[in-house]
Amino acid sequence: MSTPMRTLLIADDEREPFDVTLYHSMVGSLMYLIASRPDITLSVTVCARFQSNPKKSHSKAVVRIFQYLKGTPNLGIWYPHGSDFNLTAYTDADHGGCHVDRKITS
Percent of the chain past pLDDT 90, that is, above it, reads: 36
- pLDDT at position 105 over 90: no
- pLDDT at position 100 over 90: no
- Residue 43's CB is within 10 A of a number of other CB atoms, namely 21
Contacts of 64 (CB under 8 A, 6+ apart): 1, 4, 5, 6
User: What are 5-20's pLDDT values in tens digits?
Assistant: 877 777 776 778 999 9
- pLDDT at position 68 over 90: yes
Percent of the chain past pLDDT 70, that is, above it, reads: 84
**Model confidence, pTM:** 0.74
pLDDT of residue 9: 76
Contacts of 69 (CB under 8 A, 6+ apart): 4, 33, 37, 40
Provide mean pLDDT across the span 63-92. Answer: 83
- CA distances to 36, 37, 67 from 74, rounded to whole Å, are 11, 10, 14
